[in-house]
A and B are shown apart, each in its own frame.
Chain A
Amino acid sequence: KQEVTQIPAALSVPEGENLVLNCSFTDSAIYNLQWFRQDPGKGLTSLLLIQSSQREQTSGRLNASLDKSSGRSTLYIAASQPGDSATYLCASFLTGGGNKLTFGTGTQLKVEL
């Protein structure tokens, strides 16, 4: 069974700081790895999706990397803003695992003025 772990569980940083969120997974037979954002009272929003053959994806101030062999992914947020405050979740799609995402426990980020 795929286990997905995210570290740290919570993070508080001052505005403008660059930061890295970590995600590790036990089964490297993944089809892809996704990063989501969850705001209180709202659903999840997909941020970045990295296919298993890719090493990284970028969108604006966000950069996600994937190292299948070590079972790790990182989400890098540049020049953080208060609007980035949310819970960030990574999720993997296993090869042959059916059409379901396996999520990590999330990192709760707070960016302070």
Chain B
Amino acid sequence: GAGVSQSPRYKVAKRGQDVALRCDPISGHVSLFWYQQALGQGPEFLTYFQNEAQLDKSGLPSDRFFAERPEGSVSTLKIQRTQQEDSAVYLCASSLAGGPLDTQYFGPGTRLTVL
């Protein structure tokens, strides 16, 4: 079956623009995670959903970042008024249940460049 897909794969935005990044998790996966990976660094946790409920958003760096998963499947990460420091690869992962025994399956990421 299909893995986790993300779109667009690459996004260039001018500073101040709003962007929306999409994640399609593996069908049937209850949990969905967003991570931000800066150049040369490991991924850092942003937020976590179980079905449509956002259970943890402690990693979102500012109120310009907003994530939703309204129907418990596809998720969108929105960044308002983008800044240069938002440039990074945004990774989405899904897992069957979400606990520590579950493997998280990662998508290829969206590379965001803010000019």
Contact = CB atoms under 8 A, between A and B. Distances in A.
Interface string A89-100: 101010000111
A80 to B, nearest CB: 22
A99 B42 contact: no
A41 B108 contact: yes
User: Does more than half of chain A's interface fall in helix, strand or loop, or is it mixed?
Assistant: strand
Contact residue range for chain B? Answer: 20 to 34
Interface stretch (A13-21, A43-51, A60-68, A70-78): A43-51
Interface residues of A, number: 24
B27 interface: no
Given A6-B42, A43-B106, A103-B44, 11 more contacts: A4-B42, A43-B4, A46-B105, A89-B43, A98-B48, A99-B33, A99-B48, A101-B43, A103-B43, A104-B42, A105-B41
Contacts of B109: 43
A42 B45 CA distance: 18
A100 B42 CA distance: 13
14 contacts: A4-B42, A43-B105, A43-B108, A44-B91, A89-B42, A93-B100, A98-B48, A99-B33, A99-B98, A100-B45, A100-B48, A102-B45, A103-B42, A106-B42
A24 interface: no
B72 to A, nearest CB: 16
Contacts of B101: 32
Interface in A20-49: 31-32, 36, 41-46, 49
B17 interface: no
Interface in B68-110: 91, 93, 98-101, 103-109
B18 interface: no
B100 A46 contact: no
For B43, B44, B93, the residue with the greatest tally of chain A CB atoms inside 10 Å of its CB is B43
